[in-house]
Structure 1
Amino acid sequence: MRTHWKSLLAVLILGALALAGLSVSTQPGASAAGNGGTQEEFRAMWVATVYRLDYPSQATTDPAVLKRDADQILQGCVDMGMNAVILQVRPSADALYPSEYYPWSKYLTGTQGTAPADGFDPLAYWVEQAHALGLELHAWINPFRITKSGQSEFDALTADHPAKVHPEWVVEYDGNYYFDPGLPEVREYIVQGAEELVRNYDLDGIHLDDYFYPGSGFNDAATYAAYGAGFSDLGDWRRDNVNQLVKTLGERLHAIDPELSYGISPSGVWADKSSLPEGSNTTGGYESYYASYADSRKWVKEGWIDYICPQIYWYIGHKSMDYATIARWWADTVKGTGVSLYIGMADYQAGNNDPTNPWYGITAIQKQLEFNDTLSEVTGEVHFRYQLIAANSDLVQLYRESYGQSQVTPTPTPEPTSTVVPEPTATPKPSDPIYLNTVEHTAYIEGSNGSFRPEASLSRAEAVAMLARLSVDEQGKPLYSGESGTGGFSDLTGEEWYAPYVAFAAQYGVVNGYPDGTFRPTQSVSRAELVKLIAAYFDAAEIGGVSFPDVPADYWAAQPIALAAQEGWVSGYPDGTFRPDQNVSRAEAVKMLNHALGRIAGQREAAMPFDDVEDEYWAYEEILEASVSHTYESDGQQEQWLSYEP
């Protein structure tokens, strides 16, 4: 990591402040070096500006307020023993600094395109003050994201916004807007925007997060047709587009400043071993290789970046996404490459009030810090995010102690009424195995206002609700209790109908969220995604090859799909295809799950509870089987309902 040329100046400034009678807490800057050098470990704090999550405290053009907020955060980071700040300077194709490429951010002043008063430059102030306190300042940019609030935000973009000047660069996906990574002119624009930052500011680093392609359904068919020559696979072409940006950006930035630290923070899991042989021993999560077309392992192996900072946002002992397993995988990945490994820490998860939750208190974070110390390849940590950590006095004290700042007097906090919280014996530990209920035939899917909407795409919330209702322990006892919560996801309040199901699923590792801390409950589930979710409940025997022509052997969900076909859960379409990336309908979902559960649909005397499912509908009997609780007897080929709940 870059060594500050301004360190002597910082000492002089701090000495002058001390002589003036001001109390200043300091922590030397510098960290594990990219480009091969080694110094003290990297201890960094993410400071988010999107939605003003961390900075500023309010939308304002007043330099005094913007300076005060920056000073409080920087001093808070020093007090916790951090030696670097990663400041989000371009949250959504906008800027917290004067730019020739992007308009002023609305998150800063309240109106996009409006600058702070009196020519004040927030980024210049952050850099100057960070260095004065011995902190590194890294500029965090989101390369392709244009909006986070949909059409209304897009409509409000300034006329000189690059998305308005170049509408041909823009793709709408899931209600939001993104620059098309497949266009060479888009990639070049992003590189030039980063070069502007490095030329104009004494930055210690440029940092990219995991926003590349937002999903597999990204509408870039025309771009693929124009630029995809030589690629028979759309996914490979998309990954190459991201690779080109990553490689070119590093080369161009280092040409300006060879000592600059250039790194990326991808989602914690590159790929599951079941998807790619080089992957980690994880299952059923967000695989960035496929989900955002981010081949982060290649970036490390090729040495295109100075550091990698995977967001390992799961606890030690997680059923399918174990922190220790993922951290070891990354340690093995960077070994011998010269690329530094910093761990992105899920501090936002800490402080859960439920004693049975793995994130109760700060124990999970403390154990992760201790585990990191056992891996020589881990040379630093980055913490998400400032305001959430500053509001947790236990976390603040943990970092003061862990990072050598215990001499700083903490704010007094009340003593806990009990140092030991007993765990209810009736509540299974989250690490205990869970299974699908294949014995009782209770209803596991519902409709709304008398309608089932059979052709509607199954949402993530609906998929989680189905699986939660069916989850049982080894003795067949239902595990779902109906207790509400947010599961630690920032886009849930706990009041939504699906909140209890999501909280349950997060606790037991049924499903994971996205790297930005969201769950995205309304996002559609693909056929491959649902198969993989169901398959995670089963111990796979020997699995044969994939029989569908549109599912290649190296497809990320090839093994779960092969298992589903082998066990008879799925049969594909009349043309022989499986269509893995197609959104799964609610009707298809219940048929798939019925077959996985061994529930045999057939003609019944029970009335269909939904007005929009006619007798002739192809999945009529499957929907009835899934939506009406009943007792039954079966000979393995047919089922006879003995009783049911109308």
Structure 2
Amino acid sequence: MNSKKLLLAVISVCSALSVWAQDKAPSKYEMRAGWMASVANINWPAKKGQTMEELKKVYIAYLDSLAAVNANAVVMQVRPTGDSFYPCAIEPWSIYLTGVQGQAPTPMWDPMAFMVEEAHKRGMEFHAWLNPYRIAQNDTTKFAESHAIHEHPEWFVTYGGLMYFDPGHPGSAKYSNNVVKELVSRYDVDAIHFDDYFYPYKVSAKDADGKSYVVDFPDTLSWEKYGKPFFKDKDAWRRNNVNQLIKSLSETIRSTKPWVKFGISPFGVWRNKSTDPVRGSDSQAGVQNYDDLYADIILWSEKGWIDYVTPQLYWKIGRKIVDYPILLDWWIKYSFGRHLYVGHSMGNGADEIERQIDTLRQRGFDSVQGSFYWNAGSVLRNSKQRDNGREMNPMLKAKNRYIALVPPMAWMDMTAPKPVSGLQVKGSAPIVEISWDANYSDNLNAFLVYKFEKGQPVDLSDPSKIIGRVRYDNNAKGVFYDKSGQKGQFTYAVTALSRNSIESTAVSETVKVTKSAVK
């Protein structure tokens, strides 16, 4: 694309974003994602050992419930405890899938390929959620024969009754990079996602006198060998271990597929002001990312190692020690231009989530770009607020009235794909067929179909006019059916959409739809 066309693409996106920021029209660009946890069978699978048909049915129900509230991404946990939800050359099948770690599903199938395809069918991104260090929730003895613990026991430690990769051992970081590289290479995922589990949350115990103390993470061997010769401070060494993991994973993802994003969803407080008067937040959280989990999140954003951060702001507005708007403004200040999405705890109820969404939208698109819902089960069940019975989904449908595109990232490919050609509109009410020829571009991802009433200009900044999204599946032709049954004069417009949500110019046709024909 020449510089003039690139400038026009950027101006088009900026125009649509400014409308959102001014709150003069519904948002066209906003992240709306639902988390789905597999660990402990929280969401999906609902229990171990379900049949392929049961698993597919429930997963589709989750996606359809998210699509019904105009969500545009699913964040699926596919590596919960050093095991996988896909046939992996490196790690065993997950215990949360079949009930036995290392046991393949019967009949053999690939849940990951299915999950990605079904998400994309609905115009939703698929973010593959992995846990980098945790390998056992409770029973540390039942590992598959193929598990790395048998070949490399020196990589692992036990803490608080659970087992983890030792972040201080170089072998664990190299292993994690191999896992991510294989996943990104094989599957059409849109992002790699980590949550808040880095070094584990600290565990307390009682001494002989009954006094509580914090149990230190058992990494003495790796500290003596890999840390102490180079670091005076053990905490700084631990942070460096996580920093180097994040940096190397970022490089692995970008070198494998540069369009795949890397996102982190940390605990909601980086540091309290009492700990760090200069950069800490005005909060009194009992846990701090930097000091307790050794996760220096804001460094990763500042260095550009991650593409988005989704702090888990699970507290209600007005909670004095961890107040949502105070923390939101802090994260806005320290996002360093990377995308900021807010993690909401849907268990707080529809009233609170509505207030939180309103608050973040009031900050403007330049500050915060969307929401993640913890978790998708609340949407699947249409959960009710405890005190007044208000349902979650009607609220979300009202807030997310129209389709929204995942926000484009300015540091990724901002090139627009080639426009479609050969647009044809035919048929009659109640079904009108819109078809077009796809013109291949390396970054072509989907097509958007707009519908404007008589006298309305073709305005791509208005999401209320989007009537369909069609995934590009390598076919030379695309087609969409308008089943609204409306009669009258309409202008149909089609744009090509890149992986980074950059649109081509629109190709349009004005027609008169009658009961018998399109003229």
TM-score category, normalised to shorter length: 0.5 to 0.7
Is 1:193 matched with 2:182? no
Q: What's the Cα RMSD here?
A: 1.8
Is 1:395 matched with 2:396? no
Counterpart secondary structure, 1:378? coil
Superposed displacement of residue 119, structure 1: 2.3
Quote the residue 2:66 is aligned against: 77
Quote the residue 2:245 is aligned against: 245
Which is higher, the Rg of structure 1 or of structure 2?
A: 1
Quote the residue 1:227 is aligned against: 226
Superposed displacement of residue 215, structure 1: 4.2
Quote the residue 2:412 is aligned against: none
Quote the residue 1:58 is aligned against: 47
CA distance in 1, matches of 2:46, 2:306: 33
Q: Deviations over 1:431-462 (max 9, x none)?
A: xxxxxxxxxxxxxxxxxxxxxxxxxxxxxxxx
Q: Which amino acid aligns with 1:383?
A: Y
Quote the residue 1:495 is aligned against: none
5+ residue gaps, structure 2, are 1-15, 18-26, 203-215, 385-390, 404-519
- Equivalent of 1:374 in 337, 358, 362: 362
5+ residue gaps, structure 1, are 1-30, 33-37, 351-361, 407-646
Superposed displacement of residue 253, structure 1: 0.4
Counterpart secondary structure, 1:113? coil
- Equivalent of 1:383 in 351, 369, 373: 373
Counterpart secondary structure, 2:164? strand
Quote the residue 1:271 is aligned against: 271
Q: Deviations over 1:162-203 (max 9, x none)?
A: 123211111111111100001111001001101111001000
CA distance in 2, matches of 1:213, 1:284: 17
Quote the residue 2:217 is aligned against: 218
Q: Which amino acid aligns with 2:223?
A: Y
CA distance in 2, matches of 1:115, 1:387: 26
CA distance in 2, matches of 1:160, 1:318: 47
What TM-score, normalized to structure 1? 0.54
Counterpart secondary structure, 1:93? coil
CA distance in 2, matches of 1:261, 1:283: 32
Instruction: Choose between structure 1 and 2: higher strand proportion.
Output: 2
Is 1:236 matched with 2:236? yes
Quote the residue 2:306 is aligned against: 305
Superposed displacement of residue 307, structure 1: 0.4
Superposed displacement of residue 40, structure 1: 1.5
Is 1:131 matched with 2:120? yes
- Equivalent of 1:171 in 149, 157, 160: 157
CA contact 1:345–1:383 (8 Å) conserved in 2: yes
CA distance in 1, matches of 2:70, 2:330: 27
Q: Cα gap change, 1:255/1:132 in structure 2, threshold over 3 Å: closer, same or farther?
A: same
Quote the residue 1:467 is aligned against: none
CA contact 2:102–2:145 (8 Å) conserved in 1: no
Q: Which amino acid aligns with 2:395?
A: L
Superposed displacement of residue 405, structure 1: 5.6
Quote the residue 2:90 is aligned against: 101
- Equivalent of 2:79 in 87, 90, 94: 90
Q: Percent identity?
A: 38
Aligned residues: 355
CA distance in 2, matches of 1:259, 1:338: 18
Superposed displacement of residue 62, structure 1: 2.4
Runs of 4+ with >2 A deviation: 57-62, 388-391
Superposed displacement of residue 57, structure 1: 2.7
Q: Which amino acid aligns with 1:238?
A: R
Pairing of 1:362-511 with structure 2 (within 5 A): 362-376=350-364, 377-391=367-381, 392-393=383-384, 394-404=391-401
CA distance in 2, matches of 1:134, 1:60: 29
CA contact 2:378–2:392 (8 Å) conserved in 1: no
Superposed displacement of residue 58, structure 1: 3.0
Q: Deviations over 1:284-335 (max 9, x none)?
A: 421111111000011111111000111011111111100110000000112x
CA distance in 1, matches of 2:247, 2:312: 21
CA contact 1:93–1:145 (8 Å) conserved in 2: yes
Superposed displacement of residue 61, structure 1: 5.5
CA contact 1:214–1:292 (8 Å) conserved in 2: yes
Q: Which amino acid aligns with 1:57?
A: A
CA contact 2:75–2:127 (8 Å) conserved in 1: yes
Quote the residue 2:257 is aligned against: 257
Q: Which amino acid aligns with 1:292?
A: L
CA distance in 2, matches of 1:212, 1:347: 24
CA distance in 1, matches of 2:402, 2:279: 40
CA contact 2:313–2:343 (8 Å) conserved in 1: yes
CA distance in 1, matches of 2:153, 2:62: 37
Quote the residue 1:593 is aligned against: none
CA distance in 2, matches of 1:186, 1:192: 10
Is 1:294 matched with 2:304? no
